Structure 1
Amino acid sequence: MLACITTANVALADDLNYPAERLNYTIAFGPGGGNDLMSRTLVDILKKDKLYTENIRIDNLAGGSGAVGFNYVAQKKGSAYNITSTSGNFLGTPLVSDTGWTYKDFTPIGLLAQDAMFLIVRDDTPFKTAKDFVEYAKSNRVTIGGTGATGPERVVASLFAEKAGFDFDYVPSQDGGGMVTSLTSKSVMAIIANPSEVSGQIKAGNFRALAYSESQRSTVYKDVPTFIEQGYEFSFSLPRGVVMPADIDPQVRDWWVNTLKQVVETPEWKKYLNTNSLSGNTVWGDDFASNLAKTNEDFKRVLTQIGAIK
């Protein structure tokens, strides 16, 4: 499989004379965060396996919850040598701020990892499935916690309640540690959490994952059913992907799709996914564009419902 992709890409590269220049990789956040880690892991693989044969320059261009860095890349319209990695802020920031750009101002290359959420309860509760929780919630007022008032946790909680037909009170915490404490102390009945935030508690037998918010089961937590499997027709995950400026040559896009398909098959990338509790279900090209559009619409609708945007 990889050999075929490599052969095809060599032919495509020869036809395009690509790459012929330094790649400028912009990270729209500061060093040390999730977007920075993903981007540097990706670049390390491109270099080590000589998948990109010219130099690669990495710049952290933080500011405005990603607005500054993403705007810089958006302004490089038509450039085959500018690239960046997406995150939740790639969609969320333009919804709540006047950035001058949206996801539509980029060329989607590939969604390399799915950063989705768990519905988590304490292990000492009687809830074994999402259905158990819903049956209780339909006759009792429930509290669900998450990180931040308008983040992806709130979106998942709202989509779940909407599809299942129950009301809830949302209790935001300032960070993941506070959210975990709120469930441990029984301040809330459940939390919506990134798997990386609760993996230790799950392994220790303190927490139980009832459902996963991606459309497919996680490639890391394969025993946790999705909401969709349990009859709640929604999915939501943050896009850990790669985009380039608008209006690039379609053959350049194809070159990058083929190249990144090789990246996600490497041991280094699989280790990155497991270490960070990210699912490795991939989406490419036009399908990635559709994924961004759907996720953006869900994000926008929930934030409008709760009054975060008008």
Structure 2
Amino acid sequence: MSLLKKFAAVPVMAAVLASPLSFAKDLDYPTKRLNYTIAFGPGGGNDLMSRTVVDILKKYKLYGKNIRVDNLAGGSGAVGFNYVAQQSGNPYHLTSTSGNFLGTPLVSNTGWTYEDFTPIGLLAQDAMFIVVRTDSPFESAKDFVEYAKNNRITIGGTGAAGPERVVASLFAETAGFTFDYVPSQDGGGMVTSLTSKSVDAIAANPSEVSGQIKAGNFRPLAYSEAQRSTVYKDVPTFKEQGYDFAFSLPRGVVMPNDLDEDIQQWWVETMKKVVETPEWKEYLTTNSLSGNTVWGDDFAKNLAATNADFKRVLTNIGAIK
């Protein structure tokens, strides 16, 4: 039974969440202010996630000292992530990951990669749908593939080399069809490309198409995470339908390298408490994110696998020379 079900009253939950971690009774931590760096500007997805985490840490007294939050934007995340990477050995720095945490080092000389950080946890997964109009003949991914193998097919997305194109390319590669990719400048333009029938399908973040799905205008055919979304539980994964790949953007937390393993474990256990709070669950639902979590060294493996897919697709489309 989860903490949320077991302790419905918030004051009781606060007492339970704030209790000392059993393995860390002899660990003299924390003793200083925490510096939480957001590698992007205010108002974006990474900023929202980071501030939600910090608010929960404060509300439930999960971190016993002050917390300073700084937006250090620039270079598609390169500036902020570089700052944290340079704090090697310092256990008082955290940052939140996103797609750019992997993508930016692949296309730019940042001086760091995901391997230059200590993995704490994947708190949420920002995966993609392949979506069609409800008046289309495609009821499943199989229907779509059968048509695409014998006809010209178009799939839209945001940007020329973003996660939408990665998911569409992995789908086509695994299923054995070709397609024309139609990039839009933003999510609104991508949605319009489907409603106007300019494309046959789009690869889209659930939050970008949730309104159209609820209105009955769009039909999601498949979900790109390894497990079903905790929000859209009726949408099957690509793997369930016989297409053996998974891809999602890592909404996680990392720290600088060269930290004591006890510090890493302290934060793993603390973040496990964060994701059990009603505030976190509301954040997931509001932003159409999946709450399937991965912790510690398993998060490192997840990052490595996602990075490999990202790199292969970006190389194939010429974004990486």
Normalising by structure 1, we get a TM-score of 0.98
Alignment partners' CA distance in 1, 2:142 and 2:252: 32
Query: In the alignment, what sits opposite 1:180?
Result: 191
Q: CA deviation at 1:8?
A: 8.4
Residues paired across the two proteins, number: 310
Query: In the alignment, what sits opposite 1:289?
Result: 300
Gaps of 5+ in 1: none
Q: 1:302 aligns with which of 279, 298, 313?
A: 313
Matched, 1:18 2:37: no
Matched, 1:207 2:218: yes
| Local SS of the residue matching 2:26 | helix
Q: Which AA in structure 2 matches 1:205?
A: G
Query: In the alignment, what sits opposite 1:227?
Result: 238
Alignment partners' CA distance in 1, 2:127 and 2:265: 27
| Local SS of the residue matching 1:126 | coil
Contact 1:9 1:255 in 2 (8 A): no
Q: 1:27 aligns with which of 5, 28, 38?
A: 38
Alignment partners' CA distance in 2, 1:10 and 1:117: 36
| Local SS of the residue matching 2:21 | helix
Alignment partners' CA distance in 1, 2:167 and 2:121: 23
Matched, 1:36 2:47: yes
Q: 1:277 aligns with which of 285, 288, 297?
A: 288
Q: How does 1:15-164 map to 2 (within 5 A)?
A: 15-164=26-175
Q: 1:243 aligns with which of 249, 254, 258?
A: 254
| Local SS of the residue matching 1:226 | coil
Alignment RMSD (CA, Å): 1.4
Query: In the alignment, what sits opposite 2:270?
Result: 259
Q: Which AA in structure 1 matches 2:261?
A: P
Contact 2:130 2:223 in 1 (8 A): yes
Alignment partners' CA distance in 1, 2:21 and 2:121: 19
Query: In the alignment, what sits opposite 2:200?
Result: 189
Instruction: Report Cα offsets for 1:81-117 as digits up to 9, x if no partner.
Output: 0010000000000000000000000000000000000
Alignment partners' CA distance in 1, 2:95 and 2:288: 22
Q: Which AA in structure 1 matches 2:239?
A: I
Alignment partners' CA distance in 2, 1:155 and 1:105: 24
Identity of aligned residues (%): 80
Q: Which AA in structure 1 matches 2:284?
A: L
Normalising by structure 2, we get a TM-score of 0.94
Query: In the alignment, what sits opposite 2:10?
Result: none
| Local SS of the residue matching 1:121 | strand
Contact 1:41 1:269 in 2 (8 A): yes
Query: In the alignment, what sits opposite 1:165?
Result: 176
Q: CA deviation at 1:11?
A: 3.6
Query: In the alignment, what sits opposite 2:7?
Result: none
